[in-house]
Amino acid sequence: MKREELETGLRGLGLEKGDIVLLHSALSSLGNLEGGVGSLVEAFLNVLGKEGTLVVPSFTAGIVPDAVKNDPRAVVSVAPTAQVAAIGAKAKEICADHWKCETAHAEGTPYLKLADLGGYICLLGVDQDRNTTLHSVEALLRLPYLSETSPKEIDTPEGKVTTSFKYFPGPHRDFIGLDKLFSEKIKTVVIGNAVARLIKSKDLVDISVAAGKKNPAFVLCDNPACDDCVRQRAQLRVARLKEEKFTLVSSAVLAGRYVPEMIENCKAAAIEHIELDYVQGKPVQFLSAEALQKQVEELNAGGLKVTALKTCAVPADMPAFLAKTKACGVARLVLPLTFEAEAVMKSAKENNLEILFYNLGLSGKATSDKLLSLNEAGFECGFVFHAANFARAGEHPFLGTFKTRCRRFMKQLEVADALYDCRDVGLARGNAEIKELVSILRCSSFAGNLVLGEGLRATGSLKDATERFWDLVDNM
């Protein structure tokens, strides 16, 4: 390919005299360009003219970045990383004071100065994964998974300065998946063997910022085997959870069969609290004191706080179970509400344990009568509102039961769903009115636990349940 052909191609792409272009390129993609990299740079400078400016990222080595950086006409931005090299009328202005910016890519950096000046981004034979300006978008949004670079001493026009950048991107990204967002604003032509694309930087930034506001995980990949993105997604969730008053808890059996599995799955779902109901397929009340203590210790060591032990039935030997609970250092028990409630409360009081009862096979009226009578007898028990069980009892958990009864005792909501015919179903796909319940609890600043319950196993993993839960919450 001759330089003139490349110039014609670039004009066909829409570039004109006076334009400013941030170029990401792969020289080899053009095929055999006569004059090599020198020709490529001259072609751009000829098309842009004296009034125009060519900018390339120069923080990593490469044939094109090195050629521009080492050109005697070039200005290079001074920064600990993310530097650019520029040739042309606006080169000085674009490169000035990069090291003084708070971030590598956002406000005041060459990338956004170029956007504000009406500049373009040109991808020549490379994909969006090379598009550094997408990091500007992550930094503009101050996404919670970004981190600060380690301080570095650099030579600046004002002397030696030790500095770092905040909101710097981490390892993996899926920028390629964003391409469809820009389809209306991007122009594509083929030059030689290379696909060349051109978009106004301001358009790209505006479109991506809007997408990132809607979905902060917009540049992360979906590959469950990508440790980077799994971790970065969890950081987004942790930040999101901090905005809420409630505590999000996973039931152990939903998180996994074995403790290490529970720890790993909770970590990926950004859940730091667990309610221990089953371990290795065994209900907690059947574990020995030693086994129970060991599991609790392992969970704690893995960063999970055990909020309570939960049983599927009232243990046959209640005093022995209470002693085991006490020995493992968990202060709260979650039990089904049955005719044995008074006896349970008596021994719990002696052991200084907190008891929460959940409804199982009882109507709302029977449940609230029972809670009231316990209260009148001087027992301070709390209540877990098990919406799916109320649905199984043929009730309207929110419209009927919640509004009129039980609410004053409520410490916890079991987040799971079921149909009137007793089948477990995914969240907000059954008769448990779970969306209404979560919504009203948020509106009244409920500071108790929302427990992703065992019933959610029927429709997938903890990951699925967590995603569905946040979908519901974010669309309330």
Q: Which helix (H) or strand (E) holds 55?
A: strand 53-57
Whose tokens are 């999970």? That residue is 304
Say whether 86 sits in a helix, a strand or coil. strand
**Residue 85, both tokens:** 């090299």
Secondary structure of 162-214 as H, E, C letters: EECCECECCCCCCCHHHHHHHCCCCEEEEECCEEEEEEEHHHHHHHHHHHHHH
Nearest to Zn ion of 78, 230 (CB atom)? 230
The nearest distance, CB 172 to Zn ion, in angstroms, is 4
326, two tokens: 């006490």
Closest to Zn ion by CB, 83 or 128: 128
Which listed range, 20-28, 169-177, 201-209, 303-311, lies at the site for Zn ion (CB under 5 A)? 169-177
Contact 453, 251 (CB under 8 A): yes
Q: Residue 231 and residue 342: Cα distance in Å, rounded?
A: 46
CB of 3 or CB of 172, closer to Zn ion: 172
Alpha-carbon span 74 to 285, nearest angstrom? 73
CA 67 to chain centre: 39
- The token pair that represents 437 in the structure block: 């319940």
Q: Taking CB under 5 A as the rule, does residue 229 contact Zn ion?
A: yes
- Smallest gap from residue 284 Cβ to Zn ion (A): 36
Smallest gap, in angstroms, from Cβ of residue 174 to Zn ion? 6
Are 307 and 277 a contacting pair, CB within 8 Å? no
> Per rule CB under 5 A, is residue 217 in the interface with Zn ion?
no
The reply to whether 413 sits near Zn ion by the rule CB under 5 A is no
Between 133-140 and 201-214, two packed helices, what is the crossing angle to 10 degrees?
40
Contact 40, 80 (CB under 8 A): no
CB 471: neighbour CB atoms within 10 A? 11
- Least distance in angstroms from the C-beta of 221 to Zn ion: 3
Select the span of 94-102, 149-157, 164-172, 435-443 touching Zn ion (CB under 5 A). 164-172
Of 172 and 267, which CB lies nearer to Zn ion in the complex structure? 172
Q: In this chain, which of 166, 172, 200, 429 binds Zn ion, going by CB under 5 A?
A: 172
Distance, in Å, from the CA atom of 446 to the CA atom of 383, rounded to the nearest integer, reads: 14
Count CB neighbours of 313 within 10 A. 11
Binding of residue 186 to Zn ion (CB under 5 A)? no
| Torsion angle, alpha carbons of 376, 379, 381, 387, to 10 | -40
Smallest distance, Zn ion to C-beta of residue 206, A: 25
Minimum distance between the CB of residue 263 and Zn ion, rounded to whole angstroms? 21
Instruction: Identify which of residues 267 and 326 has a Cβ nearer to Zn ion in the complex.
Output: 267
Taking CB under 5 A as the binding criterion, the range among 106-114, 126-134, 219-227, 369-377 that sits at the site for Zn ion is 219-227
Q: Using CB under 5 A, which of the segments 47-55, 170-178, 365-373, 436-444 binds Zn ion?
A: 170-178
Per DSSP, 150 falls in state P
| Closest alpha carbon to 398 in 443, 357, 439 | 439
Residues 376, 378: Cα–Cα separation, whole Å: 5
Token pair listed for 73: 């006409």
Q: Confirm or reject binding of residue 254 to Zn ion (CB under 5 A).
A: no
> Residue 13 interacts with Zn ion (CB under 5 A)?
no
Minimum distance of Zn ion from residue 170's CB (angstroms):
10
Stretch that binds Zn ion, among 22-30, 165-173, 236-244, 322-330 (CB under 5 A): 165-173
Residue closer to Zn ion by CB (options 172, 403) is: 172
Q: Which is nearer to Zn ion, 5 or 129 (CB)?
A: 129
221 near Zn ion, rule: CB under 5 A: yes
Closer to Zn ion at the Cβ: 229 or 344? 229
- The Cα angle at residue 18 between residues 15 and 21, in degrees rounded to 5: 55
Q: How far is the CB of 165 from Zn ion (least distance, A)?
A: 22
CB of 227 to Zn ion, least distance (A): 8
Q: 3-class SS at 22? A: strand
In angstroms, the CA 55 to CA 20 distance is: 8
Question: Is 204 or 221 the residue whose CB approaches Zn ion more closely?
Answer: 221
How many residues of this chain interact with Zn ion, rule: CB under 5 A? Answer: 4
Position 86 contacts Zn ion (CB under 5 A): no
Q: Tell me which DSSP letter residue 17 carries.
A: T
Strand 417-418, strand 410-415: pairing: unpaired
Interacting stretch for Zn ion, rule CB under 5 A, among 50-58, 166-174, 373-381, 420-428? 166-174
Part in contact with Zn ion (CB under 5 A); list of ranges 59-67, 86-94, 168-176, 210-218: 168-176
Helix (H, G, I), strand (E, B) or coil at 143: coil
- Shortest approach of Zn ion to residue 214 CB, angstroms? 19
Q: Which residue of 226, 241, 331, 472 would you call a contact of Zn ion, by CB under 5 A? A: 226
Stretch of residues binding Zn ion (CB under 5 A), selected from 187-195, 228-236, 276-284, 331-339: 228-236
Asked if 231 touches Zn ion (CB under 5 A), the answer is no
- Contacts to Zn ion by CB under 5 A: 172, 221, 226, 229
